[in-house]
Chain A
Amino acid sequence: MNIPAELKFTRSHEWIKDLGNGEYEIGISDFAQHELGDLVFVNLPQEGDTITMEEPFADVESVKAVSDIYSPVTAVVKEINEEILDAPETINSGAYDAWFVRVENVTETAELLSAEEYEAFLNEEA
């Protein structure tokens, strides 16, 4: 299982990466992309939108189903990854490179898991 040590995770299988300048990237974990299967469509918020902790901010569609993606933080969207809109398969091929949004002005953070805790959580679930 690919779980990079420098990321933090949610129990709903999103990752968040601290970029160090007050900005963060958010995406979905390798486990999540594997469970969803081949992704065919992605919906993202717009730049400037405020996204809310533990509420859906994006959705992804596989041939099986459409799934909501939950935000680990309350923050403002600075940038969206247009590349995944055109090529959702990049999420399947590299879940940790295929960030969904870059956010700033983080005002609230959900309970996050370290890589170790997330791995333990996955083992527990399985």
Chain B
Amino acid sequence: MKLIFERSVADRALTLLPECDVEKTVLPEGMARTQALRLPEVGECDISRHYTELAKCAHGVNDGFYPLGSCTMKYNPKVNEQAAALEGFTEIHPLQPQSTLQGALKALVLSEELLCEITGMDNMSFQPAAGAHGEFAGIMLIKAYHESRGDTKRTKIIVPDSAHGTNPASANMAGYTVVSIPSNEDGCVDIEKLKAAVGEDTAGLMLTNPNTVGVFDKNILEITKIVHEAGGLNYYDGANLNAIMGVVRPGDMGFDVIHLNLHKTFSTPHGGGGPGSGAVGCKSLLTPFLPLPRAIKNGDKYELLTESELSFGRMKEFYGNFLVVIKALTYVLTLGAEGIREAAQIAVLNANYMMHELADCYEMAYPGYCMHEFVMTLENTKKQYGVSAMDVAKSLIDHGIHPPTMYFPLIVHEALMVEPTETESKETLDEAVAALRDIAEMTVNNAEAVISAPHTTPISRPDEVMAARSPKLRYEF
């Protein structure tokens, strides 16, 4: 297809943008451009067709099954969008007087109350813009806590080797040294290794539960206790909260701080459709350190808390991605307490159903029951037939299914990680199972067809290595 630059015709114009309704200011001399940007010049009809053509090349939750493990690509109900499009939320400005923002502030306070109820936390900030930003905020809370006590010898954060890569990165960015501990054969925390790793230099532990192999760590109370007894704090990565929301609470498992991906668990768009929201929640001992400003209730009024001596600072301008929080709030209110629990239960049921239906033709990395996702290993298939996890993933595209997460977690070789989510019907799960069984059969009978997939897309396999080594980042006129 043509690039938008290739559709450009000199002096063609359109009037999509509204008239500017505020006073224009002039940039200081020497700072303004002297010639216009070389933007493509196209008519409205051509623009519309261009983006429709691009959209047809993409695959989203609205197109079909999207079992991207660890990403919780659930369907995002349209009612969320309707609520977020209400004028009272869209036609306001963050700098307008607080007395005129009471509804928006109330929505933030209510979101905090409900999400704290679900997670067992005491307070929450919606400032972080996405998951890793929320993780970083969580670790900064732990750091601010230790520093406020003059406890400066705590320089290490413990992270299991099954963790999301963002965990060690966040700890590192906050200035901590990362101690990686190996998992046991069930993919869970090795208690003895944890005991050996903690000490008076332990600032905290970062953990995902259920973990990245889709297993709930049954020793969680002992794990968090070991860290607490060493003087550290426990951080919960909310990536996999979808498996347990409304059933068990991280706060009751001994966690002091969590981040949530509102754009995963609470059904706001993500994966290019964002923006995200990495809300960070904490127990009251960490509340004074939360980033500000934060909406609070004061008597029968809502206001913004803008100052606190101990706050570690600001994560983002204003109050985070506000409309994303409104979408998440709509989701929680729509489902209610029972619905939230049911969503988690069905997410777990769906994953177990698919895992069970595939167990005789794909090798499961951790057989038995899973939580909301399961991990298959193609290691032996690769040895025997030369068909890798990548090949199976590419072949699924021909079946109209988005590939699962590949090559993660790193502790499983040739991993494919499948997370169906609760929003998929049994018919969709059955179709996906049939597609995967079909690919398994093809692997044995006609491996070459799998290795050369996909066959139905405009381009088959992009040269990822070339794209990474010498990317083209701009159009050359």
Contact = CB atoms under 8 A, between A and B. Distances in A.
A63 B165 contact: no
Contacts of B33: none
B465 A63 contact: yes
A88 interface: yes
A63 B410 contact: no
B468 A41 contact: yes
B464 interface: yes
B465 A38 contact: yes
Nearest to A37: B465
Contacts of A63: 464-465, 468
A65 B126 CA distance: 30
A58 B371 CA distance: 36
A65 B464 contact: no
A88 B470 CA distance: 12
A50 B406 CA distance: 36
B407 interface: yes
A40 interface: yes
A89 interface: yes
Contacts of B408: 65
B469 interface: yes
A107 to B, nearest CB: 20
Interface residues of A, number: 10
Contacts of A40: 465, 468-469
18 contacts: A38-B465, A40-B465, A40-B468, A40-B469, A41-B468, A61-B468, A63-B464, A63-B465, A63-B468, A64-B406, A64-B407, A65-B165, A65-B407, A65-B408, A65-B410, A66-B165, A88-B469, A89-B469
Nearest to B469: A40
Given A40-B468, A40-B469, A63-B465, 15 more contacts: A38-B465, A40-B465, A41-B468, A61-B468, A63-B464, A63-B468, A64-B406, A64-B407, A65-B165, A65-B407, A65-B408, A65-B410, A66-B165, A88-B469, A89-B469
Contacts of A65: 165, 407-408, 410
A16 B440 CA distance: 42
A64 B410 CA distance: 10
A41 to B, nearest CB: 7
Interface string B443-477: 00000000000000000000011001100000000
Contacts of B469: 40, 88-89
Interface string A79-109: 0000000001100000000000000000000
Nearest to A92: B465
Interface in B103-118: none
A20 to B, nearest CB: 35
Interface string B401-435: 00000111010000000000000000000000000
Nearest to B413: A35
The 7 closest A-B pairs by CB, nearest first: A40-B468, A38-B465, A63-B464, A64-B407, A40-B469, A63-B468, A63-B465
A88 B165 CA distance: 22
Interface string A29-47: 0000000001011000000
Interface in B74-112: none
